Amino acid sequence: GYALVALGPSLSLFIAVISKKPFLILTLLSSTLVWLISLIILSGIWRAFLPLNSTTWWPFAILIFTSIAFQEGLRLLFWKVYKRLEDILDAFADKVSKPRLYLTDKMQIALAGGLGHGVAHAVFFCLSLLTPAFGPATYFVDRCSQIPFFLVSAIIALAFVTVHTFSMVIAFNGYAEGNKVDQLFVPSVHLAAGMMVIFYFCSHVYATPSCSVSEPYYVQ
Amino acid sequence: MAQNQRPKSLLDSLGEEIIRILTPVSICMLLVVLLVSILNSSSSLSVTSSIATIAYSETGSDSSWDKFIGALLNSLVFVVVVTVATFILVLFFYLRCTKFLKIYMGFSSFVVLGFMGGEIALFLIEEFSVPVDCITFLVLLFNFAVIGVLAVFMSKMPIIVTQGYLVLIGMMVAYWFTLLPEWTTWVLLVAMALYDLAAVLLPVGPLRLLVELAMSRDEDIPALVYEARPVTHHDSASRPVQRRIWRERQNARLDSEDSSSLNSDLNSTVSIVQSSHNGARIARVEEGQVSERDAELSAPLIDRRMDAQDGMSTESLMLEGMGLGSSGAIKLGLGDFIFYSVLVGRAAMYDFMTVYACYLAIVAGLGITLVLLALYQKALPALPVSIALGVLFYFLTRFLLEVFIVQCSLNLLMF
């Protein structure tokens, strides 16, 4: 159940669009891998500072900020690799006398890349923690004690999958056309979504209904 | 109308061969993970003693250093056994005893499907309390094993049956391997990867000799190789079908019989008597299939694979390899399937996060190996890159990533 909440839209997207074209599956897997590597590097860097003191909120802010900056940097790198790939593919297409890549093809590649990122997020932040959910009870976190933890993480994962998927498409479009607004839009959205959690901390001071309030913000 | 349809884009069919080989590997890994998570939830303390643990049986209370040395000794013994077995296979091939080898392989694959499949089925029946009686069970098992042997050997079966059976064989052997103690498994994987590297690339390596023999004589040994269904391009009009362009194939056979039992020196019988946990008989048979394919992107690539087995009585060799057979479709040796699944199964015993990380690492390794194959155009071992990446990612995930993610998630920090 939880897994489907987190991954439902991405699964349907996968079946409809990506499974038809094997190249997109490969793109998906490679972007998932890249995201995983970025996570590992980040965890390596932050390992020394964990476990964090959970009462103050600013270490978390730094954590999120650095992580997001790193990942946006990676997105730029992904874009550069993609440019080179596009050239190779076009040359190859000429060689076998097939038409060059259409715009929809390029967007599909971007979509697959973004979906890969989103799936990696959902898998690592939500699914891998679901193993205790198979048992009879459920689990609540102190921060947010109305909704079971698994449901919270599933909803957040859902939101992030959407964010990641579409931000990749927008980012590629932005880089391609040199459109500054688009280019800046993506990292800011990412940052905003990440910073939302800080909302939790501030609201920790106030009453508890906060976390069910912030949930709708996420889904927006 | 024809005008409304765009001509097919390049993207439609680009990575298809890779996907065709990736899917069965993923399915095999998935099945092993499922089996491991179902059957090992009650931590089984029985240590299967086989040739892999002949040097040292790991117990829970030994210190880390002891465990490490023990695991090293075990793997060393194992690699030595496999080397000897491979050399004997080369010898047989050289002396042209192919009929004998073929019969032997058929027999061993029957035993694998029958006995190991039966054992796994027994575990499952026990776990789920399925009411089924002995006789029905035996009849079903026997039929299953016979069809399996036929499917692997005769090429008249629909290809999906053959592929399915090969995946099942790989899954059973991999499951058996995951029953080994933990340190032994990891060191064994690394040792096999190194051995594969050595055996294929060194001029004196047995696998390389085998390939060269097969090539020079232009014949094949029947062996167990997974061959992906060939890709036919519908829209390439008058392209002549290229048959047998690249005649390099490797067939490696791997037969190993392993009769191991808890009370170790019982079972003088080579015919395996069903004992509680540990009858494991691994036989690998490779078979190449001839199919046709338009060669567009293909390059003659041969990888070898090795399957390791524990054998007390006879040796087994498995050639692992990826390559294009005379048909042009990508062939992946069954040993590769097995070792990848062993790695993922072992990761599953820890936590699911490691499973995902290792799966991605192995797929990446496979991709890299394919690219290298396209570049170098000679026999390449398919095992080392993936295993190296997989082991690396496993340890990184276990020690670094898990703490990070659990911390972040508990505080509901996600990015």
Q: Please spell the DSSP secondary structure of B32-58, one letter per residue.
A: HHHHHHHHTSSPP-PPPPSGGGSS---
* φ, ψ dihedrals at B136, nearest 5°: -55, -45
**Pairwise pLDDT comparison (B114 vs A134), residue with the higher score:** B114
Q: Give residue limits of the domains in chain B.
A: 11-229+310-355
Q: Whole-prediction pTM value? A: 0.72
B102 touches B152 (CB < 8 A):
no
The residue type found at B35 is L
Judged by DSSP in three states, B170 sits in helix
> Which is the catalytic residue, given B196, B220, B255, B258?
B196
B336 is catalytic: yes
Average pLDDT by stretches of 10, chain B with 415 residues:
53 70 86 82 50 53 74 83 81 76 79 83 81 84 84 74 84 82 84 85 76 71 60 39 31 30 30 28 30 30 33 30 48 81 86 84 87 77 86 86 71 61
Length of chain B: 415
pLDDT at A22 over 60: yes
- Does any CB of chain B come closer than 8 Å to the CB of residue A51? yes
Judged by DSSP in three states, B225 sits in strand
Which distant-in-sequence residues (6+ apart) come within 8 Å of A203 by Cβ? A210, A211, A213, A214
- Does any CB of chain B come closer than 8 Å to the CB of residue A2? no
Which pLDDT tens digit goes with each residue over A183-211?
666 666 666 666 665 555 545 444 334 44
B220 is catalytic: no
Helices (H) and strands (E) in chain B, counts: 12, 7
Peptide bond into A9 cis (omega under 30): no
pLDDT of res. A51: 61
Chain B residues whose beta carbon lies within 8 Å of the beta carbon of residue A47: 400, 403-404
pLDDT of res. A136: 55
Q: C-alpha B198: how far from its chain's center?
A: 18
Mutate to test the interface with B, among A18, A25, A43 (most CBs of B within 10 A): A43
Residue B384 pairs with which residues in a beta bridge? none
- Lowest average pLDDT, out of A46-55, A88-97, B109-118, B280-289, goes to B280-289
Across the interface, whether the CB atoms of B411 and A143 are under 8 A apart is answered: yes
B408 touches A125 (CB < 8 A):
yes
CB atoms within 10 A of CB B358: 28
The minimal CB distance from A40 to the residues B8, B15, B401 is found for B401
Among the listed residues B104, B80, B74, B81, the one whose alpha carbon sits nearest the alpha carbon of residue B92:
B104
pLDDT of res. B103: 78
Packing angle, helices B159-178 and B334-348, rounded to 10: 50
- ipTM for the whole predicted complex goes beyond 0.85: no
Q: What angle do CA B140, B146, B151 make, to 5 degrees?
A: 125
Across the interface, whether the CB atoms of B400 and A40 are under 8 A apart is answered: yes
pLDDT of res. A124: 76
Dihedral angle, C-alpha A32, B30, B50, B78, nearest 10 °: -40
- Does any CB of chain A come closer than 8 Å to the CB of residue B406? yes
Mean pLDDT of chain A: 68
Judged by DSSP in three states, B260 sits in coil
CA distance linking residue B48 with residue B57, whole number of Å? 9
- Does any CB of chain A come closer than 8 Å to the CB of residue B239? no
- Does any CB of chain B come closer than 8 Å to the CB of residue A200? yes
CA distance linking residue B169 with residue A38, whole number of Å? 36
CB atoms within 10 A of CB B53: 23
Among the listed residues B142, B183, B140, B144, the one whose alpha carbon sits nearest the alpha carbon of residue B164:
B144
> Which is the catalytic residue, given B255, B258, B303, B336?
B336
3-class DSSP string for chain A: CHHHHHHHHHHHHHHHCHHHCHHHHHHHHHHHHHHHHHHHHHHHHHHHHCCCCCCCCHHHHHHHHHHHHHHHHHHHHHHHHHHHHHHHHHHHHHHCCCCCCCHHHHHHHHHHHHHHHHHHHHHHHCHHHCHHHHCCCCCCECCECCCCHHHHHHHHHHHHHHHHHHHHHHHHHHHHHCCHHHHHHHHHHHHHHHHHHHHHHHHHHCCCCHHHHHHHHHHC
CA distance linking residue B131 with residue B120, whole number of Å? 16
Chain B residues whose beta carbon lies within 8 Å of the beta carbon of residue A219: none
